[in-house]
Amino acid sequence: MKKAFKIFGLLFSIIMVVGILAGCGSASKAQLKVYNWGDYIDETVIDEFEKKYNIDVIYDTFATNEEMYVKIKGGGADYDVAIPSDYMIERMIKEGMLEKIDFSNVPNYKYIDERFKNLPYDPNNEYSVPYMWGTVGILYNKKMVKEPVDSWKILWDEKYKKQIFMLDSSRDSIGVALKMLGYSLNTRNMDELEQAKEALIRQKPLVLSYVSDEVKNAMISGQAALAVVWSGDAVYTKRENPDLEYAIPKEGSNLWVDAMVILKGTKNKKVAEQFINFMCEPEIAYRNTTYIGYSTPHTEARKMLPPEILNDRTAYPTDEDLKNCEVFEALSDVIKEYDRVWTEVKAAR
């Protein structure tokens, strides 16, 4: 019995030591919460970051800037890093929702192309690190659309009734209507905004559906002739279905930048900066841009891309393609009017 007691005691001690060590390991492991667009990262990159730095990453996605903003503003989430678009970053800075980044902890920021620094949404480069950029345009099926696609007006052509996908995004869809009418997509003119509303309501019977990420598979499978998409989705869908092509309408469009930011009140600021720096490593930036198909602002990642991608004007348009394009402004003073317009469009029958 005494010998058995000694063996039991030894086993008990080993179990306790292992348990304590395991507990210590769990307690010391940092955690990072990341909030990003759907289908917007090579997820093996997250696994690699977790293993390299012994950090748990909780990764959630959103479909629109507005959805992301409402969730964070409402206090229903405690994310450390998010990846909104330019105009939303400007709004979040003004509302004190972002932390300034300590760029001494992000040395890979040196790889970001100078063209994507000092932009109006973050003029002093204090709060954000550009992740991807692109345009909004029309993705069309060449077997279903025989005429030239060079104007937003084609989305109001009754010939394509129930063959059109629009983005379920207020700024993007209102922006399309404003550009179609010849106005700025940052207008503060209420008469122009009302005209855009009426145009979208008039178009509504032609629209098959208002969509987000699901537009990619729908267009690949030939469910519609025309769709308003972000350029990165166009790159991906063209790769999967060669009948698809992309055009930036002559009236101009939205030139956008999505960037990594750190949310106010984060308890893991250094880990957040470590993650952003990791995302800017040349090999990681290259993997992300090739996986999701969006255009990179990273100089070294771009050098690794094959000529067929660099020469694709969907991903890397010419200056002529972009001459009438605009970057979204935050429009905080009139954003309620934009929200009202979108609500009335969606409610219209």
pLDDT (tens digit, 9 = 90+) per residue, 219-249? 999 999 999 999 999 999 999 999 999 999 9
- Please tell me the distance from the alpha carbon of residue 279 to that of residue 281, in angstroms, as a whole number: 6
> What per-residue confidence (pLDDT) applies to 100?
98
> What per-residue confidence (pLDDT) applies to 244?
98
> What per-residue confidence (pLDDT) applies to 175?
97
- Selection from 218, 226, 210 nearest residue 152 by Cα: 226
180 Cβ contact list (under 8 Å, min separation 6): 151, 152, 153, 155, 156, 199, 249, 251
> What per-residue confidence (pLDDT) applies to 24?
43
30 Cβ contact list (under 8 Å, min separation 6): 53, 54, 55, 56, 268, 271
- Selection from 174, 165, 169, 136 nearest residue 64 by Cα: 169
pTM of the model: 0.81
Helices (H), the chain: 2-28, 43-53, 65-73, 86-94, 170-180, 190-203, 215-220, 231-240, 269-279, 282-292, 299-304, 307-310, 335-347
3-state DSSP call for residue 191? helix
Q: Within the chain, which residues score under 50 in pLDDT?
A: 1-26
> What per-residue confidence (pLDDT) applies to 27?
54
Q: Are strands 128-141 and 226-230 parallel, antiparallel or unpaired?
A: antiparallel
The pair of three-digit structure tokens given for residue 63, joined into one six-digit string = 């479909």
Residues 145, 216: contact at Cβ < 8 Å? Answer: no
Residues 149, 246: contact at Cβ < 8 Å? Answer: no
> What per-residue confidence (pLDDT) applies to 21?
42
- Selection from 104, 122, 34 nearest residue 329 by Cα: 122
Tokens 């009140």 map to which residue? 265
> What per-residue confidence (pLDDT) applies to 26?
47
Residues 212, 167: contact at Cβ < 8 Å? Answer: yes
